[in-house]
Structure 1
Amino acid sequence: IDNDNDDTVTMNNTSCPSISFDFYRRFLPAAYILVFIIGLAANVWGLKSLLQNWRTLKIISVFVLNLGFTDILYLVTLPFLMVYYFMDSKWIFGDIFCKITRFCFNLNLYGTIGFLTCISVSRYLAVVHPIRVMGRITVTHAKAVSVMVWLLVGVQSLPDMFYTKTIGNTTEKCFETTSEAHVEDYLKYSLGWTFTGFCIPFLITVGCYGHIAVVLWTMKTTNEIKKERVLSLLFILILLFSVCYIPYHLLKNLNLWSRVLSKRKICHKWADRVFIAHQISRGLVCLNGALNPLIYFHGNRDIPAQLRQLLQRARQTVMCPSITQSQNTLT
């Protein structure tokens, strides 16, 4: 993902202060490497655990499984972005693959938001309307809803691929949004996309968990373990939305508006700060690939036990050579 801003913008025969790109060229590669290592390991392990119990899959597990697939789809593109930055922001993989990389990011971002919303609605129905939905909503329904989410996210993300992602006849740059020539149209598209792909799901999620909280606190007979599980999932969702999604959408559209003003030769002192803040939000939004596996821990009680066993085995593997070496030294 590269900057979509010009270094300087002329206004009344003067130039706006130039925007420094040094920060994001150091920050984003480090964020991508961290997310790739942690996210890939955690998602592969979580998906493996879910697929091993495929026959006993629950409704919420179907959504968690699709959540993992969206992460894998994005994580496999990160090595190409790493190469991009290591080569001083020069894209060598062609215009088509640049668009595919952007498309995978958008599928991950809005697919994650969509499946988190499905998980929230599922928990809402199970807690607030358990008698009404008991036996009526099945795994088959969850699979059908998952297909609809993929289709909806694909339709929302597809127009992005028709915007220019490179400069002229060269493919040295791979824009996150589009070139300066189409920035005004892209801002309109981005605002509509933000409303349908983020704001509506966010309001549904807040509404579901707000009602769940009221029900749990007014029902004295509610199981304490059930309360803790719902609260833990609520904490994960608050973490994802507050760290990853809200700053990204707010700053992305604000940065696009800054570029529109710059194109109209209107300079603002805050343009540099908005640009830097947007780059930080881009690093944070990719963290969802590493944070989403927290849902696995919530949805599968066996995973914490498996993690403890894995850590114990790793410890034994490290300790055994040391013990053997000590015994050899003594003999």
Structure 2
Amino acid sequence: MDGHSLGFVSHPSSHWAAMDIMNQTSCANFNLPIDYENRFLPSVFIVVFIVGLVANGWGLKSLLQKWKKLKIINVFVLNLGLADILYLVTLPFLVVYYFMESKWIFGDTFCKITRFCFNLNLYGTIGFLTCISVYRYLAVVHLRVMGGITVTHSVAVSVMIWLLVGVQSLPDMFYTKTYGNTTGKCFDTTSQAYVEDYLKYSLGWTFTGFCIPSLITLACYGHIAVVLWTMKRTDKVQKQRSLRLLFILILLFSVCFIPHHLFKNLNLWSRVLSKQKICHEWRDRVYIAHQISRGLMCLNSALNPLVYLHGNEEIPAQLRQLLQRARQMISHMFLSNSGSVTVAQTTDEV
């Protein structure tokens, strides 16, 4: 997402020209309307780093303070926050990378580690959101089954999610991630030489890491919706909690996950076609759309803390207290400034 996922540099026209020479393709060059990667992406990364670090740090602190009272769903929320922190700590290095006009100075190994952390965050997030959805499904539809689930079970499931995501992401580290000693590129997929194999890997990864969890989540909330609106035994609070989580999941999937996987694979396919001297007009639009989806993808680390509002009942109250204190401070500062102005006016009149 946040690297040069296609082996493109910050100036696509020159890069496509280099690719034409290397691969003897006849595709016409194109130019992005703005220097997207070196201007827009660093700005997004900085905002996500600040907001995500504060929000996730606050949420994790609140959960850990209530460790002895930790509920099953909070185990998944805790792991969700850890996945976000894992990715957020790599963002300063990517900001430096783009501010230096896409020159990676931290070495090939750390480039691969950075991309690995991103993949752990992305598919770990999807996995733990799926677990939260299944938990809500059992809590609403199968209360008897829910009674037999303990915190130990949720910890075991969390370990399995991390292992599964790690196994899925590990092959990515064996693909070439850097391009030459002088350019210092750090791709988030691979170089043009291995793009055919990477496309196959990416499609399988998308199916197992995104499509299957998405179908499970959809099935869970489809059944939950039927139960909530057809059975009278559910109360309004339960309906509101389920609807809030559903809204958060729809936001994350529609803004972050779906565009990323769609345009990433379409862009890889266009690279394969270009290498085979098959050029289409939609190649340029897909490339630009993929660049935009890269910026949207990293927002998940700033949006995931919304799940804390659902998983921990005390956090909304803490948030209201924090906002109330902020308003009081602003009001106090405003009144103090108004008083100073009044005194100054009175002195001038005397």
Answering whether residue 166 of structure 2 is matched by residue 154 of structure 1, we say yes
Partner of 1:20: 31
Partner of 1:88: 101
Q: Deviations over 1:148-169 (max 9, x none)?
A: 0001000100110110001134
- Alpha-carbon separation, structure 2, partners of 1:168 and 1:23: 22
- Alpha-carbon separation, structure 2, partners of 1:306 and 1:142: 26
- Read off the aligned partner of 2:271 and give its amino acid letter: R
Answering whether residue 255 of structure 2 is matched by residue 243 of structure 1, we say yes
CA contact (8 A) 2:260 2:290 kept: yes
Q: Deviations over 1:162-191 (max 9, x none)?
A: 100011345610001000111111001101
CA contact (8 A) 1:94 1:171 kept: no
Partner of 2:11: none
Q: 1:218–1:191: structure 2 CA closer, same or farther, 3 Å change rule?
A: same
CA contact (8 A) 2:37 2:98 kept: no
Structure 1 gaps of 5+ residues are: none
Answering whether residue 226 of structure 2 is matched by residue 214 of structure 1, we say yes
CA contact (8 A) 1:24 1:276 kept: no
Answering whether residue 241 of structure 2 is matched by residue 229 of structure 1, we say yes
- Read off the aligned partner of 1:185 and give its amino acid letter: D
SS in 1 for 2:179: coil
CA contact (8 A) 1:60 1:119 kept: yes
Structure 2 gaps of 5+ residues are: 9-14
Answering whether residue 69 of structure 2 is matched by residue 60 of structure 1, we say no
SS in 1 for 2:180: coil
- Alpha-carbon separation, structure 2, partners of 1:269 and 1:91: 31
| C-alpha displacement of 1:263 | 1.1
| C-alpha displacement of 1:13 | 7.8
- Alpha-carbon separation, structure 2, partners of 1:248 and 1:185: 19
SS in 2 for 1:7: helix
Which of 7, 12, 16 lines up with 2:16 in the alignment?
7
Overall identity of the aligned pairs, in %: 73
Please give the root-mean-square deviation of Cα atoms over the aligned residues, in Å: 1.9
Answering whether residue 273 of structure 2 is matched by residue 270 of structure 1, we say no
Q: Deviations over 1:10-37 (max 9, x none)?
A: 4998842213252333221222122111
Q: 1:241–1:13: structure 2 CA closer, same or farther, 3 Å change rule?
A: closer
The alignment's TM-score, normalised by the length of structure 1, stands at 0.95
SS in 1 for 2:260: helix
| C-alpha displacement of 1:325 | 4.9
| C-alpha displacement of 1:305 | 1.5
Q: Deviations over 1:14-68 (max 9, x none)?
A: 8422132523332212221221111111111111111111110110000000000
- Read off the aligned partner of 1:7 and give its amino acid letter: W
Partner of 2:85: 72
CA contact (8 A) 1:66 1:115 kept: yes
The alignment's TM-score, normalised by the length of structure 2, stands at 0.90
| C-alpha displacement of 1:144 | 0.6
